[in-house]
Amino acid sequence: MMKKTEKNKNSEKGIFTDIALLIEQSRQNVATTVNAKITILYWNIGGRINKEILTNRGLSMVSRLSRTYHTI
């Protein structure tokens, strides 16, 4: 028969394991969400730059953007 203190230790271990799992799942969800948002951001930036290039104003603008945001 298991002693009461051993039962409590096993119960605590289970709680800590559950909490660690919840934290890890949340971290993965955050990483997935951030990656999706960054992908959408880059897609929109690319679309905006492409629009400028197609209007023949974009080549010099792309060069300026590159110089400006390279320092950030």
Does residue 66 form part of some domain? yes
Total structural domains within the chain: 1
Question: Is the overall model pTM greater than 0.75, yes or no?
Answer: no
Q: Give the pLDDT score at 4.
A: 59
For residues 49 and 66, the answer to whether their CB atoms sit within 8 Å is no
Report if residue 51 sits inside a domain: yes
Rounded Cα distance, 41 and 50, in Å: 14
2-23 pLDDT per residue, tens? 565 666 667 888 899 999 999 9
Cα atoms found within 13 Å of the Cα of residue 66, Cβ hemisphere only: 6
Residue 37 lies in a domain: no
Give the range of the structural domain holding residue 47, as residue numbers without chain letter: 43-72
